[in-house]
């Protein structure tokens, strides 16, 4: 009887735990037209690349605009990007003509050994095995395949944290209303507001405190970072799969703040990643755009690695102009489209 009750309780918890898959898959189901440009990346692209600016009428003199969607997912890395592009985007009846892969060197970090493995798919196992993924990663995926609730553990942990936050407020109410104590909540440092086609920019409310925390966080991550060969091989798989599907890939090194450029991009980890991306792009017929210093300054960034709303709007227009000058992108999009667009 106790076993039955335990499983019943577990079932109720899992019922409200959400979907363990990457949010990019849910977004893909909402796209009702063939895409000209698909953006794939992590939080930097999520807040930094505006589809409306990359392909909308506002930038071009004629035409209805290109179909662009931002599939970037916070916290994702090169393995997640390979999974989504190879198993999702490129298997569409009409794959995107161009994929902007907004890569972050930290998405190729060996130190992030098992980053959200539950978001990888059984179909990724051949790629992972070929590229030398550790046994731990393979077992994580196989366990989720055999016992589906195992994939929900991250969602359950997140929900438990949210519940803990709500319970903490009970203590605050007790102290302020019953014990008549004073409580001053911390002011938010930023405000996010979803826009069109997967783009979720943010406005900075308290710049200095947020930026300084970001400096410390990135410095710590770069101290421990080292390039992961299997993540680099996953990037190669993306480029080869895209070429077979007739999709051109633009590997984009996103803009970062001047502090980031001056203190981190010259380090061995970052410079080594950049060299490997350039080599991969040349070998596999892709395009590599190095735009880390394209914006400059610090104030246009909410933290050293993420553009604020106004900066992302300006940069997205700049990137659109860069893309339309690249012959391989023009060819992928089709001359009949470009003549009306540009």
Q: What pTM was computed for the model?
A: 0.86
What domains can you pick out in the chain, each with its CATH number? 22-134+190-341 (3.40.50.1110), 147-185 (no CATH)
pLDDT tens series, the chain, 342 aa: 555 455 445 545 555 555 667 789 999 999 988 999 999 999 999 999 999 999 865 343 345 679 999 999 999 999 999 999 999 999 999 999 999 999 899 999 998 777 888 889 999 999 999 999 999 889 888 888 787 777 766 656 666 655 565 665 666 666 666 666 666 666 777 889 898 899 999 999 999 999 999 999 999 999 999 999 999 999 999 999 999 999 999 999 999 999 999 999 999 999 999 999 999 999 999 999 999 999 999 999 999 999 999 999 999 999 999 998 999 999 999 854 444 444
In sequence order, the 6+-apart residues with CB closer than 8 A to the CB of 48 are 102, 201, 254, 255, 306, 307, 311, 312, 315, 316
Distance CA 179, CA 259 (A): 46
Helix (H) or strand (E) holding 169: helix 153-173
Share in percent of the chain as helix, strand, coil (round to 5): 55, 10, 30
In sequence order, the 6+-apart residues with CB closer than 8 A to the CB of 316 are 48, 49, 50, 52, 53, 54
Going from the C-alpha of 77 to that of each of 84, 123, 181, 282, 334, the distances in angstroms are 11, 17, 45, 22, 30
């Amino acid at each position: 009887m106790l076993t039955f009750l335990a499983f019943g309780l577990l079932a109720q918890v899992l019922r409200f735990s959400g979907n363990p898959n990457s949010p990019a898959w849910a977004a893909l189901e909402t796209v009702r037209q063939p895409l000209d440009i698909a953006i794939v990346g992590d939080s930097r692209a999520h807040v930094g690349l505006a589809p409306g600016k990359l392909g909308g009428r506002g930038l071009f003199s004629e035409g209805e605009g290109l179909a662009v969607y931002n599939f970037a997912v916070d916290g994702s890395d090169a393995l997640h990007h390979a999974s989504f592009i190879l198993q999702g985007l490129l298997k569409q009846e009409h794959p995107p003509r161009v994929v902007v892969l907004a890569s972050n060197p930290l998405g190729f970090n060996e130190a992030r050994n098992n980053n959200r493995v539950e978001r990888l798919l059984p179909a990724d196992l051949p790629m992972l095995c070929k590229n030398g993924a550790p046994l731990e990663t393979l077992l994580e995926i196989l366990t989720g395949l055999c016992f589906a609730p195992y994939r929900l553990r991250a969602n359950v942990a997140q929900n438990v944290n949210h519940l803990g936050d709500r319970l903490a407020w009970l203590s605050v109410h007790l102290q302020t209303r019953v014990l008549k104590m004073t409580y001053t909540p911390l002011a938010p440092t930023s405000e996010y507001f979803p826009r069109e086609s997967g783009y979720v920019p943010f406005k900075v409310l308290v710049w200095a405190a947020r930026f300084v925390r970001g400096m410390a966080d990135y410095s710590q991550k770069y101290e421990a970072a080292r390039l992961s060969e299997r993540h680099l091989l996953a990037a190669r798989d993306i480029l080869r799969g895209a070429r077979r599907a007739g999709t051109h890939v633009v590997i984009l090194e996103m803009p970062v703040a001047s502090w980031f450029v001056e203190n981190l991009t010259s380090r061995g980890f970052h410079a080594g990643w950049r060299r490997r991306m350039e080599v991969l792009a040349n070998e596999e017929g892709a395009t590599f755009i190095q735009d880390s210093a394209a914006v400059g300054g610090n104030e246009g960034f909410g933290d050293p690695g993420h553009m604020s709303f106004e900066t992302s709007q300006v940069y997205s227009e700049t990137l659109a102009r860069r893309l339309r000058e690249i012959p391989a992108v023009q060819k992928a999009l089709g001359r009949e489209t470009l003549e009306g667009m540009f």
